[in-house]
Structure 1
Amino acid sequence: MTARLENPAGLLPETVKAVNILYKSANSAGVDPAILGLVHLRASQINGCGPCVDSGAREMRKAGETDDRLFAVPVWRETPYFTDAERAALALAEYATRLADKADAVPDEIWDEAAKHFDEKQLAAIVLWIATTNFFNRINVTTRQPAPQNWG
């Protein structure tokens, strides 16, 4: 696949500053980095974002994530590999990514389950991370950014 455009963040350098602020905010609320990684990976899978799926899975693996869990993210409901908190975050990521699929995009039961496992600050960080992931996914998919070819 050939990119339609160089990465827009590279063309508009001020964007990088804003993205760094979002990243720091989402990662400063005390949410387990593995949960943020799972949320990122699942939203990216739903959106078909090759670069984000590729880099997200590779970064999680470098951080110690197991292949069993990485391979099972698309079918997290049908596997025993995830905690209740991770399942709640994955469900929230799916619903918040697929906003147009239902009239009640994020039903109370999805939100309430997440709220059982995370405080308000952590929920805010997870929602911000889902939105940031969707932001990157939309840029990458629209401009046909390829997954890196230089992984060794």
Structure 2
Amino acid sequence: MTQRLNLQAVTPEGYRAVLGLEKYVRANIDTTLLHLVKMRASIINECSYCVDMHSRDALAAGEDRRRMFAVAAWRDAPFFDERERAALELTDAVTRLEPGGVPDDVWDVAAKHFDETELGNLLLAIVTINAWNRITVPTRREPPVHT
């Protein structure tokens, strides 16, 4: 595969707008939780570039390898606390966005673990990684072979 389009080069202002949202999210959500959300959405969206980048970032930040690998099967893994599970479940629901939207039970569980501001920031984090995935997958951006 070859990259179809370098969005940053052809639409720099639009790219910077998405990057601005990324910077906001990074400053307003727990780093560990952000790594989990980014990994989960990227796995669902089959974005190899983002899975590679976010797994390397998480490991470099000290995240446990077993937890990173288990994000793909988080429901059956014992490595996540209830708050993380609520965030992962919300990530699944927002990323897949079934007809009818996010189910009330998923939202209600997340709302028990996050106050309104935290929940808003979590939602923005999920939306942001989905935006990146939807830029990277169609343009066929590939992860670097050597890091």
TM > 0.5 between the two?
yes
Question: In 2, distance between residues paired with 1:25 and 1:88?
Answer: 22
1:123 to 110, 113, 119: 119
8 Å CA contact 1:9–1:16 kept in 2: the answer is yes
Aligned length: 147
Question: In 1, distance between residues paired with 2:116 and 2:26?
Answer: 14
Alignment correspondent of 2:49: 51
User: Pairwise CA RMSD of aligned residues?
Assistant: 1.3
Alignment correspondent of 2:89: 91
Gaps in structure 1 of 5+ consecutive residues: none
1:75 to 73, 76, 95: 73
Shift of 1:103: 2.6
Question: In 1, distance between residues paired with 2:123 and 2:9?
Answer: 25
Shift of 1:129: 1.1
Q: Does 1:144 align with 2:140?
A: yes
* Amino acid aligned to 1:119: D
Shift of 1:10: 2.9
2:130 to 119, 129, 134: 134
Question: In 2, distance between residues paired with 1:142 and 1:109?
Answer: 32
Shift of 1:12: 1.7
* Amino acid aligned to 1:104: G
Shift of 1:25: 2.2
Question: In 1, distance between residues paired with 2:119 and 2:90?
Answer: 10
Shift of 1:14: 1.4
Residue 143 and residue 16 in structure 1: after superposition, are their counterparts in 2 closer, same or farther (change >3 A)? closer
8 Å CA contact 1:26–1:125 kept in 2: the answer is yes
Question: In 2, distance between residues paired with 1:48 and 1:68?
Answer: 20
Question: In 1, distance between residues paired with 2:146 and 2:9?
Answer: 19
Query: What TM-score does the superposition give when structure 2 sets the normalisation length?
Result: 0.94
8 Å CA contact 1:27–1:125 kept in 2: the answer is no
Q: Structure 1, residues 29-74: CA drift from partner, whole Å, max 9, x if none?
A: 3x32111111111001101111100000000000000111011001
Gaps in structure 2 of 5+ consecutive residues: none
Moved over 2 A (4+): 102-105
Shift of 1:149: 1.4
